[in-house]
Structure 1
Amino acid sequence: MENDFLQEFINQATQENEAKIAQEKRKKHFRELGRKGGLKTKENKKLDKVISIRMTHSEYETLIQKQEKYPLKLSTYIRNILFEKELKINEFQTDEILLQFGNNFKKITNLLRNREWNVFENKKEILAKIETTVDLIHHYLYSKIQKNE
């Protein structure tokens, strides 16, 4: 009886030990694969070249005034203008506000559909108007996305 228990315990311990060793080998294998290759690392374009320019005080002031419209550093703003990149930073703020309105309207419709709000006589009219406004918001945003494509 004791021999069977001891033999069973030893077999169970060796199986657990083998499983642990196999798991460690697997980890080492994938760690080595990661060192050897895998996904290509992204090339980080470092801004290592410095160009200094001279300008008058009035030119500098006009540059600062134009740059303050955008939440960019002065060097980033100049680089974008130099390479004629479009400055579309504030364009999506109105879209975010419209999306928030749409989400809030959907929450209101879900609340009105609840049984506790049966007090309102014109509940169906309110729901219909809210749904039309949400549809208009979504149509506007999707048409804007399709124009950009």
Structure 2
Amino acid sequence: MQNDFLQKFISQASKENELKIAQEKRKKHFQELGRKGGLKTKENKKLDKVISIRMTNSEYETLIQKQEKYPLKLSTYIRNVLFEKELKINEFQTDEVLLQYGNHFKKITNLLRNREWNVFENKKEIIVRIENLIELIHQYLYSKIQKNE
């Protein structure tokens, strides 16, 4: 009888131990999945090499003056100049102005289409000209995008 009780106790203890081990394995499995899962990280080139150079105060001042024309950090500016990448930052400012003009012209056409503006005799002609102008602006901007690609 004690032998039966001892065997049952040992088998119950071993089952409980197996369940604990199984739960730990399951927990570790999902921890590993959590480490591996999620969004893929972007594979960008890490800037891990550092180069230091010496220059005179006048060279440094001219470099700073040239860099201040662009909204870039000094290291990014130097890297772009060194590898002869194009600095087209001010170009986008003109594009933004053109887009703002296009938006304003669209607002004007919407106002002219309103019933309150029936005072103008040549209202339709004005709307057609404004729409042509908006189309020209969009064609110009899209042609610039296609040239860059």
Cα separation, 2, equivalents of 1:93 and 1:66: 18
Deviation at 1:36, TM superposition (A): 3.7
Cα separation, 1, equivalents of 2:58 and 2:50: 23
Unaligned runs of 5+ in 2: 1-29
Q: How does 1:1-149 map to 2 (within 5 A)?
A: 34-43=34-43, 45-149=45-149
Cα separation, 2, equivalents of 1:31 and 1:111: 60
- Structure showing greater radius of gyration is 2
TM-score w.r.t. the length of structure 1 is: 0.69
Cα separation, 1, equivalents of 2:71 and 2:113: 42
Cα separation, 1, equivalents of 2:36 and 2:144: 45
Change (3 A) 1:68 1:124: same
Cα separation, 2, equivalents of 1:126 and 1:43: 52
Cα separation, 2, equivalents of 1:122 and 1:60: 60
Deviation at 1:42, TM superposition (A): 2.3
* Aligned-pair identity (%): 88
Unaligned runs of 5+ in 1: 1-29
Cα separation, 2, equivalents of 1:66 and 1:108: 40
Q: Paired residue for 1:23?
A: none
Residue type of the alignment partner of 1:124: K
Change (3 A) 1:124 1:72: same
Change (3 A) 1:61 1:35: closer
Change (3 A) 1:36 1:63: closer
Figure out how many residues of one structure are paired with residues of the other and give that number: 120
Residue type of the alignment partner of 1:103: N
